[in-house]
Amino acid sequence: MLAEAAPAVTTTRLDKTYRSQSRDGTFTETHALSNINLNIAQGEFICIIGASGCGKSTLLRIVAGFETLTTGELQVMGKTPAGPGPDRGMVFQDYALFPWLSVAQNIAYGPRQAGLPKAQVAELTERYLDMVGLQKFRDRFPHELSGGMKQRVAIARVLANDPAVILMDEPFGALDAITRNGLQESLLQIWEKARKTILFITHSVDEAVYLADRVVVLSPHPGRLKLEIPVELARPRDIASVEFNVLKRTLLDAIAPDIAVEAAALA
């Protein structure tokens, strides 16, 4: 482990309120996030879970720079970011690959924007094609790939930019269980090799306990921190073990009241 270096991401009393104007001209305010204080160490793998409406995606989008915070502070590697940037790579649930670029070109896209010399772009492309196991598919186009392969390209594309933080917004949520398990394994291997800070949003308690160093539970209306649990199980983790399930029980109990409220609201 690195000595206590500067944290990768910190949020201090972060607050987000959406203001939307309805047709009659009145403003409605939605308090999406309230007093979020997070401290994420470099190289840490954080999973954020919570019932829908807890603001987990909003939080991630604020860190990415796609949305602004209302009050409070956000720092990435000790600096306040202005808008989106290549130091914070995002992996979207719906991949968002460029359909007009091949697999290799998608991966090379970021390094090209950075203006790296050709040889270096090529080298990075090869390295990350290898890392996600898509060497054979390098000249294919996104529409020719399965969902799991697309998400591998999306991960490689972000890694090629050597970001300080990788933000993942329910990245495996649209994949079938077997593909998902495969990608979870690959992601852990990549993370262990590249030692990147990962901020990973999921609605699956299993996924969170399986992947994370620390699980953060958000609670809705407004989104606020409810619980933070370190997961100190050795990897690879046994999802059938007692320890795993004890943690899972704790997290499920933390989320249960929010889900009950949601269910009652729908009934």
Partner 1 sequence: MAVPGWVYSLALPIVLIAAWQLATVGKSFSLIPPPSTVVLTAWDYAFGGIRNDAYSGTFATNAMASISRVFGGFFVAMVIAIPLGLILGRVLVCRRLIDPTLQFLRPIPVTAWLPLTMILFGLGPPATIALIALGTFFPMLLNTVDGVRLVEPRLIEAAEMLGTPKAAIFARVILPAASPSIFTGIRIGLGLAWVLLVVGEMTGVPTGLGANIMDARQLSRTDLVISGMIYIGILGFLSDRIVMLIGRRALWWNPSAR
Cβ proximity to partner 1: between 96 and 239 the closer is 96
SS3 20: strand
Cβ proximity to partner 1: between 83 and 236 the closer is 83
Interface contacts to partner 1, rule CB under 8 A: 64-66, 83-86, 88-90, 92, 94, 96-102, 109-110, 113-114, 141-143, 157-158, 161
3-state helix, strand, coil split of the chain in percent (to 5) is: 40, 25, 35
Cβ proximity to partner 1: between 102 and 250 the closer is 102
SS3 125: helix
The distance of closest approach from Cβ of residue 189 to partner 1 in the complex, given in angstroms and rounded to an integer, is 23
Cβ proximity to partner 1: between 29 and 98 the closer is 98
Token reading at 243:
């320890």
The distance of closest approach from Cβ of residue 163 to partner 1 in the complex, given in angstroms and rounded to an integer, is 9
Peptide bond between residue 171 and the one before it cis (omega within 30 degrees of 0): no
Q: How far apart are CA 192 and CA 133, in angstroms?
A: 16
Q: How far apart are CA 57 and CA 200, in angstroms?
A: 10
Count of alpha carbons within 13 Å of 231, Cβ hemisphere only?
Answer: 34
The distance of closest approach from Cβ of residue 156 to partner 1 in the complex, given in angstroms and rounded to an integer, is 12
The distance of closest approach from Cβ of residue 253 to partner 1 in the complex, given in angstroms and rounded to an integer, is 35
